[in-house]
Structure 1
Amino acid sequence: MLTATAAAKHPMLSRPSAPVRSATLLEAPLGLMGAPMRFGRNEEVYGEDEPAEFLYQVVTGAVRTYRMLDDGRRQVVAFYLPGDIFGVEAGDVHLSSAEAVSDSQVLVVKRSSVMARAEHERDLSRQLWTLTVRELQRVQQHSLVLIKSAEERVAGFLLEMASRCASGTAIELPMSRQDIADYLGLTIETVSRTFTQFVQSGVIALETSRRIQFRNRAALSRLNA
């Protein structure tokens, strides 16, 4: 049964008769049915400490997860792009909040339904295990990023985004400079200055404020080594 908070955030899931076209979460052959939902730019998907009753998969757009620190600063924990699954928690509540970076479509499925099927389907159980391990590795890798220099952090971020995009020569960043700064533990001024340095040194070219062309990927890789 949905809690009042969950029902308010995901009203489509509390109305089974609504004309919602179903889709699948995780691997398509598994046939896990979920409700596609739309979230506007900066709209909250779920909040920190709320019950982790659903799993989510980005269909279009992008989602960020974040925590608010005691001093009022925002720490972006991760960015999720189309195909990525988020909302995976070891416990019963969310350890961070999730918001749509831009207008996004997200597939939402009941966590209990997934777990019930995983008890009987080995492939699904293996996928969930792999997903959990991947999330743990991501957290560990991100913690290591925060001890590097600004140039190393920005270079690593660009390479990370490139590895998740179809094209290896150019990327379209859905997130703002402030998002990037909060993800890398830098100020927005430092991020902007580092981008300018990379442009001036011929490492990248800025076709727009969000579209980045790689000119010397080897140089970025050396910084990220």
Structure 2
Amino acid sequence: MKLTRLLSAVSLATSTHATPFQRTDGLTIKVNGPNSISGSSIADLKLTVDVTNNGAEPVRVLRYNNVLDILPTRSWRVGKNGSEVGFIGIKVALQIDENAYITINNGDTVSVVHEVGSLFDFASAGAGTFSFEPIAPEPQVTVLPTSKGSRRNQTPSFDVAITGEIPHLESLTPREPISICTDPVKKAFMDASYPEAMALAQLSYNYIIANGASDDLYQAYFSTNDPARILRNLRYVIEEDTGGPTIT
């Protein structure tokens, strides 16, 4: 059985290629995407990642802040000519517990489409060839490692050539809200409600991360709705981002 989580279809590529990588824990990471795109189409740049468990046993890995993350977080290390390209997506502080992990059974594949064009400052870097190194999911650690060396998993980079002028895209980082209401009473109410809404969204987000979708309170509020979608929309509130027209 193949578990597939596709956020959108990849239709951008003038031509595509795949980069597979076999890890020691049995996971294979394969990236598909365009060989090159025009800078004017940077907002449409998408990369598809397939994470397959080719091992004999199920693998339990962290689902956030790596290529399994469906949120617009930093799932890639992007560089050009040896220099890092600035990240303009969202930064998530997570409480790591059992619900932050996903189990990939042997033989199963999890696929995620990443809309990377709006997450990095390509405009400041200028046209050229960019390397995309996928941040690999980390396995759940049950014992402390004996070595103090880095646990970073090295994965091969995936290159995309971006040609022509690259427009500046709006950052997903929080922006200062501006109230234009002229009624002082209503304005005061909105000014007080705005940060309260973000605080409640953050509280709800943390609760779902900690307790999961089977919790009674989650069921009461969200029924059978996909927790990944609920978390994504809560992040839009927390980060003051509409999420664009792709919210469904």
TM-score norm. by structure 1 comes to 0.26
The structure in which a higher percent of residues are helix is 1
- The structure number with the bigger radius of gyration is 2
Relative CO higher for 1 or 2, CA cutoff 8 Å, sep ≥ 6?
Answer: 2
